[in-house]
Structure 1
Amino acid sequence: MQSRTPAPRATGRPRSAAAHSAILAATREALVELGWSKLTLGDVARRAGVAKTTLYRRWAGKNELVVDAVAELFDELELPDRGSLAADIEGVVLQFAAILDRPEARNGLMAVVAESTRDDALRERVRASIVDRQKRLVLTGRTRAQRRGELPPESGPEETARKIDLIFDMVAGAVVHRTLVSAEPADDEWAREFTRVLLLGLTGAED
């Protein structure tokens, strides 16, 4: 009888998608109620109804767990096809602002950003799990606009990467500052004006 080599055990996501979602949801709930400093993996496990060892098998510690919990919220962002580049930008800006209006997103993002200022490894995880993942929206939007003839193609991959970074920084930075720092509404009127400035520049004039 031939011996069978055991199949490698899956890593990362728990076998139960429901358990995975419950853990991340419990993390966001704890962030809102307790804040970063008082949140513990034991409390998250209790809220999620799982063993504490389940968390330690998937996350090295609190930092990684909290970043993944926050990242899941921003994965809800989609770039709507509203027929024009301007309308597409307005749509994603309003979605982003709506997510940041949720206490679990607002508290979670502010917590990981604050902690990452003194933790280089955490900063890299925020960049990889949140920032880099959401740059897909900019790439999708530019490609769509280029197919419509609204934007010219770039000269090469390096220029594309630079522009993707710049556009993401401008959009994300403006919305985060507006909603979390200034605590002002990013409503339809603000989204339209921001998009106009983004596309035309400060001295640009509409046709």
Structure 2
Amino acid sequence: MARGRPREEGIDDAVREAVRALLIETGYQRCTIDAVAARAGVGKAAVYRRWRSKAELVFVAVIHPVELEPPSDTGSLRGDVAAVLEVIQSSLDGVELRQALPSLLADVRADPVLEARFGEVFLGRERGYLVQTLDRAVARGELPRRPDPALVHAILLGPVLTWLHLFTETPPSGGLAASLASPLHAAVVALGA
């Protein structure tokens, strides 16, 4: 049985929109819980009932929610890798995240409790998402065994994050995810060998 008040989706949406707007207007440092609550027209307690910290709130608002949709099943590991790369790219490609990412990561790394929570809540769910994809590839006979999800996570996330947040070049003409799919598929296969 669920405890406490039911979540009101309108409040969640208003808070996420307030976060995105404040990140663009004022940056991560000035995007406070007080400012978010005021901008969303809700009480500060409503924000803290939903998210434990500013870092968690910003992550949910601009990268992805706590709960992830099941990964696409394209029928092949290569297709699934391309689909996962598309999801990663869409999650990381936004002006709000460009404003927030350096400070967000610094906040997470500076607080061991927050870092552990991020590892459990966000990284754990991202890796669980990848486990579903990898287990399908094993079941189809494309991989003899499931490679370490943490390594696969790093292999898929790293190039997209690097391109979007460190490079200034325009993505490849065929699209970033599509351009990375074949070499990163090969890397995943090598890990599962």
- Name the TM-score class by shorter chain: 0.7 to 0.9
5+ unaligned residues in a row in structure 2: which ranges?
Answer: none
Q: Is the CA contact (8 Å cut-off) linking 1:73 and 1:105 kept in structure 2?
A: no
Counterpart among 22, 42, 58 of residue 14 in structure 2: 22
Alignment of structure 1 residues 1-207 onto 2, 5 Å: 9-10=3-4, 15-70=7-62, 72=64, 79-154=71-146, 163-184=148-169, 185=171, 188=174, 190-201=176-187
Cα displacement (A) at 1:75: 5.3
Cα displacement (A) at 1:89: 0.6
Q: What is the TM-score with the length of structure 2 in the denominator?
A: 0.78
- What is aligned with 1:157? none
What is the distance in 2 between the residues matched to 1:183 and 1:76?
29
What is the distance in 2 between the residues matched to 1:136 and 1:180?
25
What is the distance in 1 between the residues matched to 2:84 and 2:10?
28
Aligned residues: 187
Q: Larger radius of gyration, structure 1 or 2?
A: 1
- What is aligned with 1:3? none
**Greater alpha carbon shift after TM alignment, 106-115 vs 25-34:** 106-115
Q: What is the TM-score with the length of structure 1 in the denominator?
A: 0.74
RMSD between superposed Cα atoms in Å: 3.0
